[in-house]
Chain A
Amino acid sequence: AQKITQTQPGMFVQEKEAVTLDCTYDTSDPSYGLFWYKQPSSGEMIFLIYQGSYDQQNATEGRYSLNFQKARKSANLVISASQLGDSAMYFCAMREGGSASKIIFGSGTRLSIRP
């Protein structure tokens, strides 16, 4: 079974609009962490945001917020006021257990911002 599922292989959004990238996860471990990474065409993996399973509030980092719905096992990324530079591949990822555990990645969503 897939641990991380991203159901949107590609999305097109108009510049300045908000966009939500979907992510669901599957784990029976009560302690886990959820991540979003951005991969531009240059290839590097850029950390965006992190949510711990015990965190009471949704994580936010600038224009990025993580809509964490624990009962639904979803961790959607919301980008407010999208910019042309947001065009990239976005990966949802999870680690199970302690902070040093390996990270498991989803298949990614390619986001394209239209001017």
Chain B
Amino acid sequence: EPEVTQTPSHQVTQMGQEVILRCVPISNHLYFYWYRQILGQKVEFLVSFYNNEISEKSEIFDDQFSVERPDGSNFTLKIRSTKLEDSAMYFCASIGLAGEDTQYFGPGTRLTVL
């Protein structure tokens, strides 16, 4: 069964450093998402992406964040200058053509900012 994959599974970085989290959505999917979950809290929407453009973003997704689909398979989230409060689990998700109902989540990347 096709699945969303994410790398790395765990990233440790120093405050102020740039990180890039990588996702490979399911191959025929068209809509892509990033969510985050701070430890012990609920999952929060960050951004959605379709047709090489951001379609929606939350107030969390400020100028420090950016997303890109650099090729036909990868979908990346970049945090330019990490802060302690960026420590969280980051989930990528994707959904296929209109009419499909379920967003499939990747296994997540645990980001730890020291």
A and B found bound together: yes
A residues at B contact (CB < 8 Å)? 33, 35, 37, 43-47, 50, 52, 91, 93, 95, 98-100, 102-108
Residues in B whose Cβ lies below 8 Å from that of A103: 33, 35, 43, 45, 93, 103
Residue B21 interfacial (CB < 8 Å): no
CB contact between B43 and one of A47, A52, A91, A98 (< 8 Å): that residue: A91
Q: Which of B43, B44, B110 has the most CB of A within 10 A?
A: B43
What number of residue pairs across chains A and B have CB atoms under 8 A from each other?
Answer: 58
Q: CA of A52 to CA of B100 in the docked complex: distance in angstroms?
A: 11
Residues from 30 to 86 in B contacting A, C-beta threshold 8 Å: 31, 33, 35, 41-45, 48, 50, 55-56, 58
Most B CB atoms within 10 A — which of A35, A50, A103, A105?
A103
Given A43-B107, A106-B42, the answer on whether A100 and B95 have CB atoms closer than 8 Å is: yes
Please pick, from B35, B98, B104, B110, the residue contacting A99 in the complex, using a CB distance under 8 A. B98
Q: Chain A's interface: helix, strand, loop or mixed, by majority?
A: strand
Q: B25 an interface residue at 8 Å Cβ cutoff? A: no
Q: A43-B110, A91-B43, A99-B95 are in contact. Are A33 and B101 (CB under 8 A)?
A: yes
* A39 CA / B56 CA spacing, docked (Å): 25
Q: A45 and B91: CB pair below 8 A? A: yes
CB of A99 within 8 A of CB of B105, answer no
